[in-house]
Structure 1
């Protein structure tokens, strides 16, 4: 069973072809700058596990259909391709950012599903309409091939009402579905499942706190394989401090800035999403630059690091409570979580009384594969597990198609 995974953005298509017999990646790449004067396509093929061939094309790519046709040409190329023709593709799996509360699991695409994704677009206007463009392009280019949508929000739909509801007038939920949804769900599902496997348990047998730390950051409390709380909310702005997003702030900050600075709601929203977080505190949103600045004595960079890891610790503590104090593992993943040993160490610093103790030697350096970094006497295991959202989408696509 060969599955093509597509993540379509407004001007890009990220793709990966997997052979689900052994979950091997056959090819992957990115089409970007769609609609600009010069587009770019990167295609990597893996004919053998220890070999890689790379092709880069730079040419006008006016729309998603043109981009996908170029991908298909490379996938089926006599020399560079990994399949003979598109008939080898069993199914196409699509990443969808927002499914609202309509989708609790992956779904086969039909007219009703497409309309539901479009109806949810106001909650993720830049993402969902781009995803729809990817779906419609794939339907046209792969006629008769099952199209499956996997939602970032779906994993969090197991949260109980006391966790996902806001203390706002109830009619706002009834009429406009204003509630917490959470994001990065595909990543949280993948690494929590991998953590259970690495500990020799079924997901239903363990409780895990997962930290997806990248330019966007979120944390989830996973009880018996199901999410019971997560840090992001109606939008990806809430929760942890991120690269350019502020995370949790007093909601009255909006009104204060409107009164004191004369800013519009749109302007304030843009500041909180694009000019805040690490960037707002110290002028940098790449943690590597922040560490380098700290070594040179930059006090704002040090403040940014301390604020980020303090917020992380706060959420870990609250999720320990959400899980009844019984936590089997804490898992770090994504760009910062996998590669930044300083952030990992400072995030769990001072949590020894809660049974969380890091081994500095094990924690040192980056993680290109799963590794345990907890001390021998730590009651809670600590893992670094590289995320693999494409594989998780492919797995869910395979399971749905196989059971259809």
Structure 2
């Protein structure tokens, strides 16, 4: 029996959709939403009908019959902390995302869109590996400042998928292995997987800088800068996320542009880019201590993992810890579909969402 799974991933100005038949990708499409359209809505949740209608119209135009679907899966939104894996979308989840999400985020639209489509198709709707997956050990939650406990925010969907894929590649079970995974994209986060759970992380504001984010910066100087009178709160937030990292040093967000600069002999570009690799390697080393160095594989993933120069710099510093696997790309649509495929095949169980 084959399974047809529709995956939906809402982003800030687009909605990605993909259809899979078992492991085979039938299509992937990015449905763009012009910024002037997005700006008509006061809240992300207000975009629900617009985005749902665009997805359904696209499927109708292409002649895809939703009645042939086995399941629909969406990107998990900003729920209160949840476990990894699949959750079946229910009314409690929808109410939470609508009325009390942890924060405004386009991913909050994933569950309501797939729920409506699944209802028409007569199948179940799921989310998988929510953005808010949190399986941290208690010891990992202590930050040093009781006012600010550590929580888990990392690129769970892609990092967990590539860890499962790497385990399968070597004929082993994800639940029997330990991984340190670094997601290298516009934002960079790292996590450590111990026997099937993400037990600690280095979030995008705790570790390496990235193309647009400042990462971990000296706290005392940051406080001084906040109270210097030179910048307002919004500007300081932008310095950390949006205008930080490589952009702040080299005025570009594109790692490919940085590599062209390096090829043309730009020493500053080389130093900044290598510093990013250096910090990523430090983060990997930091997380290896969580499992007392018992790491089966280090995995480099995300868009920047396509870069030979970046991955070679990181690999040189960390391969003494464990073998390094490079699995480039975001892999989000595949990750969503494959997760639910495992549920449909009885290899995983979907959880019931309760507050």
Q: Tell me which residue corresponds to 2:21.
A: 19
Paired residue for 2:105? Answer: 126
Q: Distance in 2 between matches of 1:136 and 1:254?
A: 43
Deviation at 1:103, TM superposition (A): 4.5
Matched residue, 1:226: 197
Q: State the alpha-carbon separation in 2 of the partners of residues 249 and 103 from structure 1.
A: 30
Deviation at 1:258, TM superposition (A): 2.5
Cα distance, 1:342 vs. partner?
Answer: 0.6
Matched residue of 1:393: which SS?
helix
| Residue of structure 2 equivalent to 1:5 | 7
| Cα distance per residue 1:355-378 (max 9 Å; x no partner) | 25xxxxxxxxxxxxxxxxxxxxxx
Compare CA radii of gyration and give the structure with the larger one: 1
Is the 1:220–1:230 contact (alpha carbons within 8 Å) kept by the matching residues of 2? yes
Alignment size in residue pairs: 334
Deviations 1:180-200 (CA, angstroms, capped at 9, x unpaired)? 212210111111111112223
SS across alignment from 1:99: coil
Out of 82, 85, 93, the residue aligned to residue 113 of structure 1 is 93
Match of 1:384 in 2: 326
Aligned-partner Cα distance in 1 for 2:56–2:171: 43
Q: Map 1:335-374 onto structure 2 (within 5 A).
A: 335-337=303-305, 339-351=306-318, 355=320
**1:97 CA drift (Å):** 4.2
DSSP 3-state at the match of 2:31: strand
CA contact (8 A) 1:309 1:346 kept: yes
Q: Residue 204 in 1 paired to residue 146 in 2?
A: no
Return the structure number with greater relative CO, CA threshold 8 A, min gap 6.
Answer: 2
* SS in structure 2 at match of 1:215: coil
1:345-394 deviation line (CA, Å, top 9, x unaligned): 11132446xx25xxxxxxxxxxxxxxxxxxxxxxx322112453222212
Q: 1:64 to 1:254 in 2, by over 3 A?
A: same
- Structure 2 alignment gaps of length 5 or more: 39-48, 351-355
Q: Deviations over 1:53-110 (max 9, x none)?
A: xxxxxxxxx921331122211342xxxxxx4x22101211001243331454421111
Question: For residues 115 and 221 of structure 2, what CA distance do their matches in structure 1 show?
Answer: 41
Residue 397 of structure 1 deviates from its aligned partner by: 2.4
1:195 partner SS: helix
